[in-house]
Amino acid sequence: MQRSGVLVQEVEIGRPSRLPMWIGGCASFARAQPVGFVSGLVILCLVVVAVFADIIAPYDPFAITAGDRLLSPSGEHLFGTDARSRDVFSRIVWGARVSIQVGLLSVSIGIGSGVLVGIVTGYFGGWLDTAVQRVMDALMSFPMLVKAMALAAVFGPGVFTAAVAIGVAIVPGVNRMIRGATLSAKQNQYVEAGLILGASHRRILFRYILPNVAYLIFIMVSIMMGLAIVIEASLSFLGLGVQSPNVSWGRMLNEGRSMMEDAPWLIIAPAATIGIVVLAFNMLGDALRDYLDPTLRNLR
């Protein structure tokens, strides 16, 4: 029994625990990139607000109350009320849910498609790479917002349409980054050794190439999330994105622009929120680049 107990104890001690590894990784990232760590906390708070918007919002963002029109910020209404007596803070909270939904969907489409196209064309090269890259060059000649506006205008406004339009718009940039990293990674000797030993192209792509460009994917997810939120707000501001009754920070800017002098909080609240959130995503992306990029490790 004692020997069994010793064996059980050894198994328990030898079993790795994931929690300390995550904590250690976060602590290391916080020491190396404190600004990026704080930005990550801001983004985490945004996600929590988006998930629990119906609990956090003190008022119904769609409710119209008589006599509460254009109230200035106070203890009862932190960000005041709009021209329809709706609580601005509650609408900011609900707008976070829409921004996260559009951002995640668009980034999933853009990153997934861009990574697949970039890694395949960069690895195989030849006429396929030449043809695809000429198409991507043509698409990159137009600003992302213009491409998103064109697609949204063709397929009509809406949350899903805005997400797809933004996702398609960011594909060329992601493809360019991943293709460049793939061209560099496939020059490694272990890739040549794998080919000599008879490894399939699929194994080479997903076992040897993809892990070497994975750090770029994490960086681009953070940066593209901020970009997607800006483009979604721009589309909604122009009437090509999120439509009523859904709440969007861009729509709030559009609704409050005619009352900038009488009720400046209608512009300040959503504009400041967009600025803080996008800055947090960009700072996190820069911090992840400095922390994960192997070419910068010797500089730390």
pLDDT at residue 260, as a whole number: 82
DSSP string, 143-162: -HHHHHHHHHHHH-SSHHHH
pLDDT at residue 259, as a whole number: 84
Q: The pTM is what?
A: 0.84
Which of 152, 118, 123 lies closest to 135, judged by CA? 118
Q: What digits encode the pLDDT tens for the residues 102-120?
A: 999 999 999 999 999 999 9
Furthest-apart CA atoms within the chain: distance in Å: 81
Look at residue 104 and tell me if it is in a domain.
yes
The burial class, CB within 10 Å (0-12 / 13-18 / 19+), for 30 is middle
Look at residue 17 and tell me if it is in a domain.
no
pLDDT at residue 7, as a whole number: 46
Look at residue 285 and tell me if it is in a domain.
yes
pLDDT at residue 295, as a whole number: 65
Q: What digits encode the pLDDT tens for the residues 35-66?
A: 999 999 999 999 999 999 999 999 988 887 77
Look at residue 265 and tell me if it is in a domain.
yes
Q: Tell me, what CATH number does 185's domain have?
A: 1.10.3720.10
For the chain of 300 residues, list the mean pLDDT of each consecutive stretch of 10: 46 49 77 91 94 92 80 88 90 92 93 92 89 91 88 84 90 92 86 82 85 88 92 90 85 87 89 94 91 65
pLDDT at residue 297, as a whole number: 56
Cα 246–chain centre separation: 20
Look at residue 24 and tell me if it is in a domain.
no
Rounded to whole angstroms, how far apart are CA atoms 241 and 231? 9
> How many CB atoms within 10 Å of residue 61?
20
- On whether the CB atoms of residues 136 and 82 are closer than 8 A, the answer is no
**Angle at alpha carbon of residue 47, lines to 81 and 215, rounded to 5°:** 140
DSSP state letter for 71:
P
State how many domains the chain has: 1
Look at residue 69 and tell me if it is in a domain.
no
- On whether the CB atoms of residues 128 and 72 are closer than 8 A, the answer is no
- Domain carrying residue 175: 33-55+86-299
Residues whose CB is less than 8 angstroms from the CB of residue 142 and which lie 6 or more positions away in sequence, other chains included: none
Q: Is 72 helix (H, G, I), strand (E, B) or coil?
A: coil
Look at residue 81 and tell me if it is in a domain.
no
Look at residue 63 and tell me if it is in a domain.
no
Question: What radius of gyration do the chain's Cα atoms show?
Answer: 24
Q: Is 207 helix (H, G, I), strand (E, B) or coil?
A: helix
